[in-house]
Structure 1
């Protein structure tokens, strides 16, 4: 009995410290927080330059972004049309306000348990430093399925690709070897190492859908 009580107490303490990805990010944005240092400065400029160039070179018309955050990274983007998804309703509201006069962009709350990929098809699906914030395995699994299911041709991922179980000083961060979970039918065309390794452990991964 005492073991069960202690286990429940420990779970409650952990829940107070970190309530899970959805609650954590919603509270962070609702309280006025932002997406973090990766969405501003030289790292944001590098990400934007890389993705913008890829979009131009491959004649990509529409992009869907799984993890639009506060929209600061998007200020540097140059895509013909864009759909931004985020698990935080507060982040989506901020983006809608920030880009309220831009008819080429739309934003919606991403609900992994209810999401249907069919209405969201795009030339390219984008995930930039979002995978390692999906700390719960069931959320991560659905995210990976949806990310690739919405892309007609390309998936671009900017993330780490090593396994590092949670429990460290940053409970909202869990690095995963996501390349092992890429669905069949996709081929890694290029990996681009990040020249700003002093501020980010992420690299670019460019996946192309195989033609059958």
Structure 2
């Protein structure tokens, strides 16, 4: 099953975006991102994978565009924020998304708890291409990394860990890892309620 099909079926059955966008995990992400947006004077934000909007509800972004692969959930999230004039949304199909004219751009582009749900190589490659292609100044990935020793062994079939740090360094030399922020409640085999993700904050080396 393609990853986009998995999420559409999950949402259509009444599922949500998962524990990572709720409770202490969501609060941690919001605190890091809201501070970064304020400190860096970020004016515009794009997110690839906005999900059910639970994480977004905690965000303090001046202007925001959220993409998602699930028509079902996107409709619900659009309805949830229908009265918020600072937020826009659009359906995302990675294989049918092309912005060579550079119109879909923002100061900051986000990918939060998305990458390890991309089980196909081609979709993963396109995701990175679109994230870094849309980012003018900063890109923030909140994800696992396959080189992390904790990520060995079997995980759920809708999960796959990628060597994100190596891939970004190799494919996007114009970007550098500005900061890594480990989450305060890491996942382990003994603590399954923890998060497998950490923040990887990138900045463009040579400006726009």
What are structure 1's unaligned runs of at least 5 residues? 1-18
Q: How does 1:99-178 map to 2 (within 5 A)?
A: 99-117=81-99, 118-162=102-146, 168-178=154-164
* 1:88 paired to 2:99: no
- Aligned mate of 2:174, from 185, 188, 211: 185
Deviation at 1:175, TM superposition (A): 1.1
Deviation at 1:138, TM superposition (A): 0.5
* 1:62 paired to 2:44: yes
* Count of residue correspondences: 193
Question: Which 4+ runs in 1 deviate beyond 3 A?
Answer: none
SS at match of 2:4: helix
* Alpha-carbon contact 1:64-1:83 (below 8 Å) kept: yes
Distance 2:146 2:5 in 1: 25
Distance 1:27 1:160 in 2: 24
* 1:20 paired to 2:5: no
Distance 2:130 2:89 in 1: 16
Residue in structure 1 matched with residue 61 of structure 2 by the alignment: 79
Q: How does 1:37-52 map to 2 (within 5 A)?
A: 37-52=19-34
* Alpha-carbon contact 1:144-1:181 (below 8 Å) kept: no
Residue in structure 2 matched with residue 97 of structure 1 by the alignment: 79
Question: Which has the higher Rg, Structure 1 or Structure 2?
Answer: 1
Cα 1:91–1:211 shift into 2, 3 Å: same
* Alpha-carbon contact 1:20-1:172 (below 8 Å) kept: no
SS at match of 2:37: helix
Distance 1:31 1:97 in 2: 18
Distance 1:109 1:160 in 2: 25
* 1:200 paired to 2:195: yes
Deviation at 1:184, TM superposition (A): 2.0
TM-score normalised by L of structure 1: 0.87
